[in-house]
Chains A and B, each alone.
Chain A
Amino acid sequence: AQKVTQAQTEISVVEKEDVTLDCVYETRDTTYYLFWYKQPPSGELVFLIRRNSFDEQNEISGRYSWNFQKSTSSFNFTITASQVVDSAVYFCALSDRSNTGNQFYFGTGTSLTVIP
């Protein structure tokens, strides 16, 4: 069965600190895709990154970076030099081919508060 676990429910950091959001996933499929989304108070889920299971290279985009490790089934997200605008709920999600409709399985989210 597919499952995504985000063990950190809430995190608070002071502005300019680095913060890492953890994501652990479960799937029996060898081909799968991992995603991170940001949900500000407006409610819209904003796409941040998509990673397929065959590409374990870490990725950096500005202050954001992602560490994908198949050996530990983790796909962690780091924000460097956090800013107040980073305050939001962040969701990790998994999609594989073993389900109809290619549904996304979301974790329960991590609420990040950046204190000025």
Chain B
Amino acid sequence: ETGVTQSPTHLIKTRGQQVTLRCSSQSGHNTVSWYQQALGQGPQFIFQYYREEENGRGNFPPRFSGLQFPNYSSELNVNALELDDSALYLCASRLGGLGTGELFFGEGSRLTVL
């Protein structure tokens, strides 16, 4: 196990609702990234937080937002849910915001939007 924990593991929402996903990084890791993995696809980068600041963002609309807390845990918030937001949301942590070291992933939160 990587030490990265995510909650909830599964959830179902309806279109237009809002959702918050949570992630606790591995001990000592100050960088958290979020990825979206649609069924049968590879993970797609949403954004990354380093020392409570967003320092990278992928091609996702502003309704995808996040936070990182002083203990380096993180939240992913998605507003105005759409059907295409149904996916596995993966959180990953590592040490160092600008490095290219390996990412350590949690087991993900599987979101279904009806």
Residues in A lying within 8 Å of B, measured CB to CB? 4, 32-33, 35, 37, 42-47, 50, 52, 91, 93, 95-97, 99-109
CB-based contact A43/B101 at 8 Å: no
Residues of A within 8 A of B27 (CB): none
Give the number of A-B contacts (CB < 8 Å).
77
Residues of A within 8 A of B105 (CB): 37, 44-47
Query: What distance in Å separates the Cβ of A64 from its nearest Cβ neighbour in chain B?
Result: 15
CB-based contact B90/A101 at 8 Å: no
Residues in B lying within 8 Å of A, measured CB to CB? 1-2, 33, 35, 40-45, 47-48, 55-58, 88, 90, 92, 97-108, 110
Q: Can you list the 4 inter-chain pairs with the closest CB atoms, starting with the nearest?
A: A101-B56, A106-B42, A103-B45, A101-B48
Minimum CB distance partner of A100 in chain B: B56
CB-based contact B101/A108 at 8 Å: no
Residues of A within 8 A of B100 (CB): 32-33, 52, 95-97, 102
Residues of A within 8 A of B97 (CB): 101
Q: Which of B92, B100, B108 has the most CB of A within 10 A?
A: B100
CB-based contact A103/B42 at 8 Å: no
Query: Quick one: which of B48, B57, B90, B110 contacts A45, CB cutoff 8 A?
Result: B90
Residues of A within 8 A of B42 (CB): 4, 91, 93, 106-109
**Measured CA separation A91–B44 after assembly (Å):** 12
CB-based contact B110/A43 at 8 Å: yes
Query: What distance in Å separates the Cβ of A85 from its nearest Cβ neighbour in chain B?
Result: 16
Query: What distance in Å separates the Cβ of B36 from its nearest Cβ neighbour in chain A?
Result: 11
CB-based contact B55/A101 at 8 Å: yes
